[in-house]
Amino acid sequence: MAKQQKTAWFCNNCGTESPKWVGRCPGCGEWNTMIEEKLPAGGSKSKSATFDPSRKSVPKPISQVETVSETRIHMPSEELNRVLGGGLVAGSIVLIGGEPGIGKSTLVLQNILSIRGKRILYVSGEESTSQLKMRADRIGRLSDNCYIVCDTSLENILGHAESLNPEIMVVDSIQTIASDSIESSAGSVSQVRECAAQLLRFAKSTGTPVLLIGHINKEGSIAGPKVLEHIVDAVLQFEGDRHYMYRILRSIKNRFGSTSELGIYEMVQRGLREVTNPSELLVSQSGEGVLSGTAIGVTLEGVRPFLIETQALVSTAAYGTPQRSVTGFDAKRMNMLLAVLEKRVGFKLAQKDVFLNIAGGLKVNDPALDLSVICAILSSNVDMAIARDVCMSGEVGLTGEIRPITRIEQRILEAEKLGFSNIIVPRHNLKGFDTSKLKIQITEVAKVEEAFRALFA
C-alpha cells in the first residue's frame, strides 16, 4: 500500500512548525496564521543549510579574527547607494518590498541596465521577456550585459546562474519561485523559506550579490514568513502614494550600513528620477502672493533634513458638528495640538472645522513638525499670512512649551542653504553650536505664545 502523504501546519508569519492546527502560533503569538502544507516524501521538512557545509570552521578568539573590507559594487543611483550604505556588497542578498505598481521592478531594472562591464542575470517569474523589453525601451536604456530569463523553477534558475556565472543576480519575485523538492505551491511558507535559503547559499558560496523583489500583504509588511527577513542581509521598503509622484526608499534592516538613511525618487514618464534636493519640490515657489494657513517646517527623515509645507484651513462648522480632517500627519496628535491651543493659549477652535494637509503627499511622523502645524492652524484662524522666508521646527508639549529637538544643526543649515532668512527653534537647543558664521537669523522661543508673537507681532 502507498504511504499516506504527511502534512504539517506552519505559521504564515514566523514559519513555526506544528503537527496540528492551533488557533494561536506558539512562536510569535499571532492568531489564525497557521496553514497546512504537505511534507516531502522523507516525512520531514527539507531544511537547506544557509552556509557551505563543506567548509570546516574552528572556534577562535575574536581578537584573532582578521577584519576584511567589504567589496562593494557602486550602483548608478546615488539614492540607492545611500540607502545600501555605500553600494551593493559582494555576496550579499537584498530584499526590496513594496506595494503593487509602486515601481520596484522599474527601480531595479533601470539601475542594472546602467551598469557597464558586469554580467547581470535578471530572473522574472511574473513578466514575459517582451514586457521587460518594453519597459527597458520606455526607460531608454538597453544593455548587452543584462541577460533575461523567465522561469519559476529554483533548480532551473540555479542552473542558469551556474552556466552564465553572473556578477549580479535579480529575482523578481521571490513569491513566484518554487523548488521541486517541496510539493507545496509557490508563495507558501515552506517554498519561500527554502528558495531564500538556497539563493543565500548561492550568494555566499559564489560571492554574487542577489537582489530579491518581494510582495507585501494587506497590512503593508513583506509577505511570507518573518524568517525571510532574517535570512537576507538587507531589507529595503519602497513606499509612497501611487497618486503622487514621490517615492521613498527606506532601509528596514541593513547588516552593512545604517537603517536611518532614505532615498527619494520622483516617478516620471521615463522611469524614476532621483530627487537630490526634495526641499525645493516640497515647498511651494509660487509668487502670486502669500496666503494664510501655510507654514514651512523643517523635518527629518532618517538623518536627512528637508523643508516641507504645512497647509491648514480653519472655518466655521457649517453642519453643527466640527470636522477634523488630516492628510499626511497623525490625526490624534493634531487633536492634541488643538487642545493645547484652546487650553493654554486661549483660541476657541472647538466649534470650527480644521483641515490639515502635508504638501507633496508625504506622511511625516517627526514631532518637530508640531510648531509648523499649530502656526499654520493659527494663521488660517486669524487670516494672517506667515512670511515665506520664515521656517520653524519644534516639538509642542501639553503645557504649551516648545521642547528641544534632535539634530538642530542640520535643520538650521538646510534652511540656510535654501535661502530662508529666519528660523524659529526651541530655546536652549543650541548649546555647543556656533551660530556666529550663519547668515540666517535664529529666533529662540520657549512657549507657544512667544512663537506667535514672533510671527504676528
3 state DSSP class of 416 = helix
Cis check for the bond before 284: say yes or no (omega within 30 of 0): no
* 447 annotated to bind ligand: no
For residue 426, what are the β-bridge partners?
445
* 102 annotated to bind ligand: yes
Helices then strands (H, E): number in the chain? 11, 23
Query: Nine-digit cell at 198?
Result: 538556497
Main-chain phi, psi angles of 60, to 5 degrees: -145, 155
d(CA 402, CA 382): 21
d(CA 169, CA 399): 55
CB 325 within 8 A of CB 313: no
d(CA 30, CA 358): 34
Could you tell me which of 213, 210, 148 has the C-alpha nearest to residue 177? 213
* 297 annotated to bind ligand: no
Q: Which amino acid, 244?
A: Y
Could you tell me which of 381, 296, 298 has the C-alpha nearest to residue 338? 381
CB 224 within 8 A of CB 207: no
Read off the DSSP letter of residue 427: T
* 103 annotated to bind ligand: yes
Share in percent of the chain as helix, strand, coil (round to 5): 25, 25, 45
* 404 annotated to bind ligand: no
Long-range contacts of 443-446 (CB under 8 A, 24+ apart): 445/394, 445/402, 446/401, 446/402
d(CA 132, CA 143): 13
d(CA 28, CA 202): 29
List residues forming the annotated binding site. Answer: 98-105
List residues forming the annotated binding site for ATP. Answer: 98-105
